[in-house]
Amino acid sequence: MSELDRIVPPGVLIEEAFSGDFMVHGDVATANCIIGFSFGYRGKADNPEPGLSNEDLAQVAIRHYAKLPKIFQGEIATAYEAARGVESKDIFRITKHRVAGKYLDTREVAVQAKEHMDKKGWKTGVILAHPNHMPRADAVCRELGIETVVTADVKGAVEFDPQSTQKWTRNLTAWREYEPEAMELYRLEGWL
């Protein structure tokens, strides 16, 4: 059994989410695309602004993955295009849940990314997420059958956003209060 096939005990994912020190794995050279999970936003949900964390994630994508096709949650796509000063034709945007009115959560982003990858014949994606969100984002993608690549590129490069509308993405203390409940829900649903 490879390390990626291991059953991840709940405590390990929580420990990684609390510390932002996650398992790095895979080879970028094998990736077909990059999958970006936003981390909070500013403003109102119906007209969000990216905010600090998503701007940081966009910068990581620009520096390290500019040539890969992009599957980005809307806030990262907006920040990416703003930073480059041009609309990008190689971004598949995920902006809302497939069920009208439902919250666009990590699982739904991963499901839509997987559907897009399947249409393109892609198997492997680099996961782009806030370091403290990376453990859950990666685990959800792997559970869906996406072959993932996780690099250390976001470590030290992506901050919390103290002005985020979503209070759990404002600082580490708020995240540590939120993430155990999110992980427990994902485990109960069979998404991890």
**Under a CB-based contact definition with an 8 Å cutoff, are residues 26 and 192 in contact?**
no
As given in the structure block, the two tokens for residue 158 are 């992506």
Report if residue 23 sits inside a domain: yes
> Which structural domain, as residue segments, surrounds residue 32?
8-39+54-189
The predicted-structure confidence for 114-172, as pLDDT tens digits, reads as follows: 999 999 999 999 999 999 999 999 999 999 999 999 999 999 999 999 999 999 999 99
**Amino acid letter at 184?**
E
Q: What is the pLDDT of residues 20-78, one digit of tens each?
A: 999 999 999 999 999 999 999 999 988 899 999 999 999 999 999 999 999 999 999 99
Whether residue 69 lies inside any domain: the answer is yes
Indicate whether 133 belongs to any domain: yes
Taking only the tens place, the pLDDT of each residue in 91-127 is 999 999 999 989 999 999 999 999 999 999 999 999 9
User: Is 163 within a domain?
Assistant: yes
The answer to whether residue 24 sits within a structural domain is: yes
| Residue in the block written with tokens 């956003």 | 161
CATH code of 149's domain? 3.40.50
48 within some domain: no
Q: pTM for the full model?
A: 0.93
pLDDT of residue 8: 61
**Quick check: is 17 in a domain?**
yes
Number of domains in the chain: 1
**Is residue 44 one of the residues assigned to a domain?**
no
Ranges of H-type helices in the chain: 10-19, 51-65, 74-84, 106-120, 134-143, 172-189
The per-residue pLDDT of the chain, averaged, comes to: 93
Rounded Cα gap, residues 33 and 184, in angstroms? 29
